Structure 1
Amino acid sequence: MESQRNILLIALLLVSFLIWQQWQTDKAPQPETAQSTQTSAGEETFVPEADQVSGEIPTGEVPAAASRRLVTIGSDSLRLTVDTQGGDIVRAELLEHDRTLDSDDKFVLLSNTSGFVHVAQSGLIGRDGPDGRAEGRPVYQVEQSDYQLAEGQDSLTVPMTFTNEQGVVFTKTFTLKRNEHVVEVGYRIDNQSANPVQVQLYGQLKQSETDPDAKGGSMLMASAYRGPAYSSSETRYSKYDFKEVREANLNRTTEGGWVSMLQHYFVSAWIAPQDQQNQLYTRFLANQGQAIIGFKAPPVTVEPGSEQHVSAKLWLGPKLQDEMAEVAPNLDLTVDYGWLWFIAQPLFKLLQFLQSFAVNWGLAIILTTFVVRGIMYPLTKAQYTSMAKMRMLQPKLLALRERYGDDRQKMSQGMMELYKKEKVNPLGGCLPILVQMPIFIALYWVLMESVELRHAPFFLWIDDLSVRDPYFVLPILMGASMFVIQKMSPTTVTDPMQQKVMQFMPIIFTFFFLWFPAGLTLYWLVSNVVTIVQQWFIFRQLEKKGLHGKAAS
């Protein structure tokens, strides 16, 4: 099949994929906007229902305490704001990531405002848990209001203490380490009472279903997933979107596991104790339009005169696959490459490897293109050889058309007999296209999901490869390269409508690519340039064999 039909096939596959992707995004009913009544940090929380653990668990409003305050804890990577009532993290800034390109403001992952809530909560419930008291969650005492990782210091631990009426001392600690996005949240239970104490650790993420600042996909570009996800011993990675949380509560027991809230490039995730049987759960707060996903660890008993320590880890940061894989099994799968992950993951590894030498991510994309097209060269050569053979048959095909006229059945039979006689496969030129499309789609998700490309510059005006070219130079060059490919491959299409469609293909593709990430457009442009060079070289080889010259004549 000659190149013009291949281009039409690419367009059909590409547009079909993008329309399907957008349909996947839009098919779910949009949530109703809920006005949150929460105006100050941590006024309301949720803990598991009373029938799920021992002891009576309140689920209503938590009374405010006059002595509560907000505490800032900072490292080189994170700046956290912790509410001393309950010890929840109500704000998290990622110091290595700007909110927008060249902005002085840092990216805010967790926040608690009247318009949007995304907080990380944790506590001790159970029969004697301080977070299960009828009078409300505990207000921890802390010595300072600001803690910062000092120069030369590798870790920072901030303790907060609460003593209940029976004399049990609960110390909640937050530990941050240099160059890490993991927060270790621990509890030391010092039982100075006369009776055994039973508590149960939980951690959960609460987020508003509607984000007024969220940006959806534009034109045919799909938007990234935002919402809950989890991992268990039975399911390595599974999304559990807001609609599912509204309809049914997740209730799964697993060894280890984690729960998370995903968004474009970033993730917050509680990693449950990995050597214990934990319960993963969700709940929807309909009156506030908020979804909760969390875990509960097994109950522990602390005997009188003894103490015990329980802890969990909280990831707050970008989707860095290598680092997340070390923190918890399958946490790196939150970098969601979709159903072509088995192609996308090696592509990202290749891109990452080449970037370690090239330094510039744009150059790494160019080198990746060379590698991919080099591997596909045997298929490309077979494609153009098939094209040349097909062109050689054009006089005989035209003779068949004149012979059979509008009799499509006899025309098809005659063509099949001719192909069989001449030993030509009419689909021989399609295989490289069918191979390249999954690679293109996989690379699309690599560039969409890989935070390494966020705000990554190329050169001159291309200062962010993850968004469209602001001046549309790359899409225009890409369209021009398609036009050159068309001219180098003279069409043998005789149908006037098909001829018009072929003539407009570079323009149509240019329009599509106006909205694509600059990195993806760069890949397609370089791929086209490589195609032009390979096509010229292969046709020169065919001319030496006399095949291409005969076809052209």
Structure 2
Amino acid sequence: MNSPRSILFIAFLVVSFFLFQTWMVDTAPGTQASSETTSSNSATAADNSNNTVPEAQGAVSSDSSVPDGDRPVANTNSGQLVEVKTDVLDVVIDANGGDIVSAKLLKFAESLDSEERFQLLQREPGNLYIAQSGLIGPNGIDSSGGRANFSVQQNNYTLNGGTLEVPLTYTSEDGSQVTKIFSFEQGKYHVDVRYEIRNQGQQAKQMQFYGQLQQTMNAGEGGSMIMPTYFGAAYSHDNDKFEKYDLDDMQDQRLNISTQTGWISMLEHYFVSAWIPTQQQDNRLFSRVAGNSQAIIGVIYPMVQVDSGQTETIESTLYLGPKDQDSMAALVENLDLTVDYGFLWWLAQPIFKLLQFLQSIVLNWGLAIILTTVVVKAVLFPLTKAQYVSMAKMRMLQPKMTALRERYGSDRQKMSQAMMKLYKEEKVNPLGGCLPMLLQLPIFLALYWVLLESVELRHSQFVFWIQDLSTKDPYYILPILMGASMFLMQRLQPTPTADPMQQKLFQYMPVIFTVFFLWFPSGLVLYWLVSNLITIAQMLIIYKGLEKKGINVRGK
């Protein structure tokens, strides 16, 4: 097998497959939701007939455990706003309901070199993305009477090291008090949400906590055909570590799963919001679509009874931040899987760890990619050498193979038997050049997903004109250099196949790949370019060694 050319050919097919697969997803009339979702007709809230900002919609899907009268109703007015700033977050809490209606990530720019910080949550006309939580049930404060309107101590809070607690207080007619406390920690993207319920009434009270994420459908980006990214919901539960749940699927399939572990989330390429419930009780994951435009996914706790004169505490955690695998893994099991490396996750994760390690030494992600390429090529070098030696031996057998063809003519069975005998006598493996190809392609694809999904590479500078390794080269210099290196590799290759069609294909392959790579992340093009340059150096070294042994490498 002419392995280097086969690598290019199969890689071309893989790229074509990615394009076709993305096109199929984008143009399909619909996809099936997870088999664990419960089918039902979507209950819709009243459509907003005017252009006012949509407020919090109903919380949970129809279910016998949550009577219709105990579901929270839509907010009609915004309450007092409380702004909280930490070193990494700038959030706004609406006292009417105690929802987080805005969240900026202070360590991340909205775009390259922008002064604006990345806005994860927002409440804008036509673009709603908020994190809600409340207490429902027979005595809930967010039931048919409307959302609880909390009183606050001040409108602005700033975290100056350590931790910061922001209390919101609600007092009912019988003197019972509910305090909703948001806890922030320096350097952390998670917010602990705690309800302290003090029952001053004469009767026991029953309440349920719910936390949900609400987002306007079709408000986000799904990437491009070359760089597809996922925009939508995802969740985890006892029987499934990670499951994507497209926003469009919510219109046809409602989520209704009982679980002791897990979480619910909304994903936006490099960033994620997630409600993480207590993991030691039977919670229920749910979803619904409100007003045909608002996608809702959430979690609801079991009923809690607060006896007269007693105090109960209900806790949950909200994550608002980047897809930082280490931070998310430390927070709850499987949340780091929102960094979706696809079916090659088992290979992508160690590649990312290697990248992380090398970057911690050289302090530059571009240099880390180059060093990772060197490591990969060094590990594969014994196989690469065996590949070229096998190719050279196969070439030396060409006269004998030609003689066998002339001898047996069209008798394929005898011809096959004779060739296998010849391979055995000459100690040649006809498939000896395949293994490096089979190893390099998964590595290439795994690195593709690492560079596409890892937030660490967002806006990461390399050198000179490469200011963002996660996006295409603005001047297309790397793709052109990569195409030139492929052309040089072809010139160094042994005598090409006699098939005119294949000759034409391989001649145009550098041009075709250059066009494809114009739109690839510059970090991936850098990897491919460096890989080609190392391959050229290895080819020259191996060919020189074979020629010293009298082996005609190129067949010329």
1:80-119 equivalences under 5 Å are 80-119=91-130
SS of structure 2 residue aligned to 1:470:
coil
| Pairing 1:79–2:90 present | yes
Tell me by how many angstroms 1:8 deviates.
4.5
Write the deviation string for residues 394-442 of structure 1: whole angstroms up to 9, x where unpaired: 3445566777889988877775565455443332212211111011111
1:222-241 equivalences under 5 Å are 222-241=227-246
Once residues 487 and 419 of structure 2 are traced to their aligned partners in structure 1, the CA distance between those partners, rounded to angstroms, is 30
- Contact 2:460–2:470, Cα closer than 8 Å, also in 1: yes
| Pairing 1:250–2:255 present | yes
1:268-287 equivalences under 5 Å are 268-285=273-290, 287=291
SS of structure 2 residue aligned to 1:237:
strand
- 2:338 corresponds in structure 1 to 334
- Contact 1:141–1:160, Cα closer than 8 Å, also in 2: yes
- 2:146 corresponds in structure 1 to 136
Q: 1:542 aligns with which of 508, 531, 546?
A: 546
- 1:197 corresponds in structure 2 to 205
Write the deviation string for residues 80-136 of structure 1: whole angstroms up to 9, x where unpaired: 11111111111110000000000011101111222221110000111111011x221
SS of structure 1 residue aligned to 2:187:
coil
Tell me by how many angstroms 1:243 deviates.
3.3
- 1:57 corresponds in structure 2 to 70
- 1:165 corresponds in structure 2 to 173
Tell me by how many angstroms 1:542 deviates.
1.4
- Contact 1:199–1:299, Cα closer than 8 Å, also in 2: yes
AA at the equivalent of 2:243: S
Once residues 366 and 69 of structure 1 are traced to their aligned partners in structure 2, the CA distance between those partners, rounded to angstroms, is 52
Tell me by how many angstroms 1:342 deviates.
0.3
| Pairing 1:495–2:460 present | no
Once residues 63 and 174 of structure 2 are traced to their aligned partners in structure 1, the CA distance between those partners, rounded to angstroms, is 22
Q: 1:145 aligns with which of 146, 155, 166?
A: 155
Going from structure 1 to structure 2, the CA distance change for 1:8 and 1:465 (only over 3 Å counts) comes to closer
Once residues 387 and 492 of structure 2 are traced to their aligned partners in structure 1, the CA distance between those partners, rounded to angstroms, is 14
Once residues 223 and 526 of structure 1 are traced to their aligned partners in structure 2, the CA distance between those partners, rounded to angstroms, is 24
Once residues 63 and 480 of structure 1 are traced to their aligned partners in structure 2, the CA distance between those partners, rounded to angstroms, is 62
Once residues 15 and 513 of structure 1 are traced to their aligned partners in structure 2, the CA distance between those partners, rounded to angstroms, is 10
SS of structure 2 residue aligned to 1:52:
coil
TM-score by length of 1: 0.92
TM-score by length of 2: 0.91
- 1:532 corresponds in structure 2 to 536
- 1:29 corresponds in structure 2 to 29
- Contact 1:121–1:205, Cα closer than 8 Å, also in 2: yes
Tell me by how many angstroms 1:269 deviates.
0.2
- Contact 1:97–1:107, Cα closer than 8 Å, also in 2: yes
AA at the equivalent of 1:125: I
AA at the equivalent of 1:178: Q
Larger deviation: 407-416 or 491-500? 407-416
- 1:352 corresponds in structure 2 to 356
- 2:36 corresponds in structure 1 to none
SS of structure 2 residue aligned to 1:534:
helix
Larger deviation: 478-487 or 91-100? 478-487
Write the deviation string for residues 430-482 of structure 1: whole angstroms up to 9, x where unpaired: 22111110111111000000000000010000000000111111111111111
Going from structure 1 to structure 2, the CA distance change for 1:487 and 1:412 (only over 3 Å counts) comes to farther
- 2:11 corresponds in structure 1 to 11
1:423-502 equivalences under 5 Å are 423-502=427-506
AA at the equivalent of 2:145: E
Tell me by how many angstroms 1:178 deviates.
0.6
- Contact 1:256–1:274, Cα closer than 8 Å, also in 2: yes
Going from structure 1 to structure 2, the CA distance change for 1:13 and 1:354 (only over 3 Å counts) comes to same
- 2:383 corresponds in structure 1 to 379
Give me the CA root mean square deviation: 2.5
Going from structure 1 to structure 2, the CA distance change for 1:59 and 1:300 (only over 3 Å counts) comes to closer
Unaligned 5+ runs, structure 2 = 32-45
Tell me by how many angstroms 1:27 deviates.
4.8
Going from structure 1 to structure 2, the CA distance change for 1:397 and 1:5 (only over 3 Å counts) comes to farther
Write the deviation string for residues 31-67 of structure 1: whole angstroms up to 9, x where unpaired: 9xx99667336354434547323683246544437xx
- Contact 1:282–1:294, Cα closer than 8 Å, also in 2: yes
Going from structure 1 to structure 2, the CA distance change for 1:56 and 1:3 (only over 3 Å counts) comes to closer
- Contact 2:277–2:316, Cα closer than 8 Å, also in 1: yes
- Contact 1:36–1:115, Cα closer than 8 Å, also in 2: no
Tell me by how many angstroms 1:488 deviates.
1.2
- Contact 1:39–1:113, Cα closer than 8 Å, also in 2: no
Once residues 80 and 47 of structure 1 are traced to their aligned partners in structure 2, the CA distance between those partners, rounded to angstroms, is 25
Tell me by how many angstroms 1:14 deviates.
2.3
Going from structure 1 to structure 2, the CA distance change for 1:95 and 1:8 (only over 3 Å counts) comes to closer
Identity of aligned pairs, percent? 53
Write the deviation string for residues 196-254 of structure 1: whole angstroms up to 9, x where unpaired: 1111111011112211x525314xx1411111111112211111222332222111111
Once residues 474 and 71 of structure 1 are traced to their aligned partners in structure 2, the CA distance between those partners, rounded to angstroms, is 48
Going from structure 1 to structure 2, the CA distance change for 1:460 and 1:408 (only over 3 Å counts) comes to farther
Larger deviation: 420-429 or 491-500? 420-429
Once residues 146 and 447 of structure 1 are traced to their aligned partners in structure 2, the CA distance between those partners, rounded to angstroms, is 38
1:289-438 equivalences under 5 Å are 289-397=293-401, 418-419=422-423, 422-438=426-442
Once residues 47 and 507 of structure 2 are traced to their aligned partners in structure 1, the CA distance between those partners, rounded to angstroms, is 52
Unaligned 5+ runs, structure 1 = none
